[in-house]
Structure 1
Amino acid sequence: MAHTDQVGGAWGFFKYEDIVKATLDIETFSNGESRNRDLPRYPLEADPPFHTAYRKILQPFFNSRVMDEWEHIVRNLVIEMLEPLIFKKEMDMAKDFNYILPVRVILSFLHLPDQDCYRIGQLSEDIYHSSYGKNPEKYAATVESLKLYCHKAVAGRKTSPLDPQKDMISKLLQSQIDNQDISVKSVAGILHLLLTAGHDSTTSSLGIIINYLAQNPNDQKRIRENTSLIPMAIEEILRYETPVQRMPRTITKDFDLHGQKLKKGEKVFLVWGSANRDEEVFDNADKCIIDRKPNRHLVFGHGIHHCLGAPLARLELRVALEELLHRTKSFELNGNVVRTGYPRFGVSSLPLILCT
């Protein structure tokens, strides 16, 4: 563990065991403090019992039956986007595919207009690039723009609801917590979360996976010859290069850890990327072994805040890779890769040449 005076001061937890313990000790490590007090993003920014109530409402939308129903929709979107790129043979995979597909999927999943994908994608990028004090004015203005979009979408759904068994926004608007209707503000906050976290990390993951396979032709050849390895390869490549490097918690009481005195109110970052390279947990931790088993990685978090959308992300990644491999004989780099930096790993430019 270590301490930084940056970002207002925070501790970093780096060992797998310490991070897992923190995710399970929800009384000491709180995630209930909103990063945007005007628009709290539940259930991520909530502790039990509030967190539990919201999660119970949302969880059914991500169960295996729903994912089975959505597979053909995701596959059709992937094919629609891939076919012109395959025809071109040369493209920037990040800009032409990775940054667009997950936004289109989440908009479709939320029954929002597909034509909004570029606007939502750009707002998310502007929020990321202006965050952490890099451009406070732009950050505030962009967050406000996305907030207005979310409020307008929720207001529209309140006026014209859809089937609450199929539509998450309608379900939230028709639900209660503690015998109180869920407010429009709360639903807009959840939508705000889904329109950023709901695609951002999947974009990063696509870039990481395709970039890795482009630079490791032996592994690419291996999964082409045995496509049953695709799910395992996805999990391992993301363990090896974790897209979301860390998530924050707030300490609720004084305690000691490894000889350090942590105080109530201090911040902690749980550094998933470090945990996923912990040599006490993973043999050859700094080597990507695409059929690694078991693979107890923390790519999607751990404990009660384990990523709600992980099933949808896994579906997108698997289908995208299946279709890319099916439609090509090989793919390789065709220029310099531009990486995105901490805290979100990925690629912003991934020039490829496709052999068909």
Structure 2
Amino acid sequence: MRRLAEYQRLREECPVAWSDEHGGYWSLTRYADVREAARQPRTFASGAPIIAWPDFDNQIPISLNPPEHATYRRLLNRYVSKDAMARLEPTIRAFVVEDLDPLLAAGEGDIVTGLCQPLPARALAALLNLPDSAHVEFVEQFRGFERVGWDPEKINAVIGQMFESAVSEVVAERRARPLDPETDMLSGVLAAEIDGQPLSEETVVHIGVQMFVAGHATTADALATTMYRLATNPDIQMELRRRPEKIPTAVEEFLRIETPLQSIARTAVHDVELHGRTIRAGDRVALHYAAADLDPETFEHPSACIIERSPNPHLAFGAGAHLCYGAPLARLEMRLAMEEILARTSEIRLAGAGTETSGLMRGFTSLPLRFSTP
């Protein structure tokens, strides 16, 4: 399932490891080092990727560094606030119920295509005040990523289709007929000014596309691994049905033990001495979140899934200035999906072998489950 032995070896023997692959880069695997690097964007900046990567350079605010990054985050934060999530909760719960209904009626089905992939797209469409029907096109676009494989040029073409066929049209619509800027993100961004200047339409489109590109795959994978954990742990199922108030802490533990984005790239801004190694200015550095989240120096019994684990300072959403903007929405989707599937079933179990994702993500592209209902 993971490169557990390799992570452990690197943490213990070579916590700052050099690889000649992909032009050369450093790997950080200890929790304290990864967290500190993630919290120091002026030392480890967002920049060049390690492997061939789609052209996400214009994705805002994820590609920016402080202080510019903070300006955009302040502008966007109100749309994922606690109050904003409370307003969205009934809508997203209804989506979960609608997506689960055919699966539970059939008694089995692929939870990834039935729930885990469509739910984040529906939630993001709701966040941006798009018609629910818009999610169908977005799911199809993301499945396009699976069809082309890890080919950055072809992925760029898929992203380009998003610009042309969806987000740019919505931005043009909002410019012509804006909604309440206090509750509608795109209307609010169009009405905003930075340094006394309005944002260009291109910038607003970049913000909208980044919401989908960054917010869909990670949440879909987190939902899929959550369902895998439930299906393969009947004792956890039983406990969470008996004590549903434990679901929020279970969400955090599933995120920790199944960190969806395994690592992320940074670039050293200046020379850094760490554990006897010198990371030079300009060197690329991989922050291995998945390895950090299994570090026994931070997490007691790290390979055990302990749903009551608290505190649980995992790095599944990153840390510092680049802490995942969509984390509140992802947590909401995971909680509601767990609440509904556990309340409406008496047993969840695997119905066959799933197909895992590859590369930097940890998830499933298919996961057949069987459901027993009360």
- TM-score of the superposition, structure 2-length normalised? 0.90
Which of 4, 17, 23 is the aligned partner of 2:38? 23
- Residue 9 of structure 1 and its aligned partner are, at CA, apart by 2.8
* Counterparts of 1:227 and 1:352, CA distance in 2: 21
Which of 318, 328, 340 is the aligned partner of 2:345? 328
* Counterparts of 2:203 and 2:74, CA distance in 1: 15
Secondary structure of 2:123's counterpart equals helix
Note if 1:121 corresponds to 2:144: no
* Counterparts of 1:16 and 1:181, CA distance in 2: 40
* Counterparts of 1:38 and 1:217, CA distance in 2: 40
Note if 1:164 corresponds to 2:184: no
Judged with a 3 Å threshold, the aligned counterparts in structure 2 of structure 1 residues 39 and 156 are, in CA distance, closer, same or farther, namely: farther
Superimposed CA distance per residue, residues 31-88 of structure 1 (whole angstroms, 9 cap, x where no aligned partner): 2669776861122111122111101110011111111111111111111111222111
2:192 is matched with which residue?
Answer: 175
Secondary structure of 1:162's counterpart equals coil
- Residue 119 of structure 1 and its aligned partner are, at CA, apart by 2.3
Which of 139, 144, 160 is the aligned partner of 2:160? 144
Q: Where does structure 2 lack aligned partners over 5 or more consecutive residues?
A: 1-15
1:12 is matched with which residue?
Answer: 27
Superimposed CA distance per residue, residues 221-276 of structure 1 (whole angstroms, 9 cap, x where no aligned partner): 11111111111111112211111111111111122222222222221111110000
Equivalence map 1:247-326=2 (5 Å): 247-326=264-343
Equivalence map 1:49-88=2 (5 Å): 49-88=67-106
Question: Is the contact between residue 39 and residue 188 of structure 1 (CA under 8 Å) also seen in structure 2?
Answer: no
* Counterparts of 1:111 and 1:6, CA distance in 2: 43
Judged with a 3 Å threshold, the aligned counterparts in structure 2 of structure 1 residues 317 and 286 are, in CA distance, closer, same or farther, namely: same
* Letter paired with 2:97: I
* Letter paired with 2:213: T
Secondary structure of 2:227's counterpart equals helix
Question: Is the contact between residue 23 and residue 302 of structure 1 (CA under 8 Å) also seen in structure 2?
Answer: yes
Judged with a 3 Å threshold, the aligned counterparts in structure 2 of structure 1 residues 37 and 97 are, in CA distance, closer, same or farther, namely: closer
* Counterparts of 1:327 and 1:31, CA distance in 2: 43
2:5 is matched with which residue?
Answer: none
Identity of aligned residues (%): 36
Equivalence map 1:92-111=2 (5 Å): 92-111=110-129
Question: Is the contact between residue 13 and residue 271 of structure 1 (CA under 8 Å) also seen in structure 2?
Answer: yes
With 116-125 and 98-107 compared, the bigger mean Cα shift is at 116-125
Q: Where does structure 1 lack aligned partners over 5 or more consecutive residues?
A: none
Secondary structure of 1:335's counterpart equals coil
1:232 is matched with which residue?
Answer: 249
- Residue 328 of structure 1 and its aligned partner are, at CA, apart by 0.8
- Residue 333 of structure 1 and its aligned partner are, at CA, apart by 0.7
* Counterparts of 1:142 and 1:355, CA distance in 2: 38
- Residue 124 of structure 1 and its aligned partner are, at CA, apart by 2.6
* Counterparts of 1:10 and 1:147, CA distance in 2: 32
Superimposed CA distance per residue, residues 168-226 of structure 1 (whole angstroms, 9 cap, x where no aligned partner): 00100110111111111111111111111122111101111111110110111111111
* Counterparts of 2:267 and 2:191, CA distance in 1: 32
Give the total of aligned pairs.
354
2:221 is matched with which residue?
Answer: 204
- Residue 347 of structure 1 and its aligned partner are, at CA, apart by 1.1
Question: Is the contact between residue 44 and residue 267 of structure 2 (CA under 8 Å) also seen in structure 1?
Answer: yes
Question: Is the contact between residue 173 and residue 184 of structure 1 (CA under 8 Å) also seen in structure 2?
Answer: yes
* Counterparts of 1:218 and 1:38, CA distance in 2: 42
* Counterparts of 2:66 and 2:153, CA distance in 1: 34
Question: Is the contact between residue 317 and residue 323 of structure 2 (CA under 8 Å) also seen in structure 1?
Answer: yes
Question: Is the contact between residue 24 and residue 303 of structure 1 (CA under 8 Å) also seen in structure 2?
Answer: yes
- Residue 7 of structure 1 and its aligned partner are, at CA, apart by 3.6
- Residue 142 of structure 1 and its aligned partner are, at CA, apart by 1.4
With 254-263 and 228-237 compared, the bigger mean Cα shift is at 254-263
Secondary structure of 1:11's counterpart equals strand
* Counterparts of 1:353 and 1:230, CA distance in 2: 21
* Counterparts of 2:54 and 2:231, CA distance in 1: 39
Judged with a 3 Å threshold, the aligned counterparts in structure 2 of structure 1 residues 117 and 59 are, in CA distance, closer, same or farther, namely: same
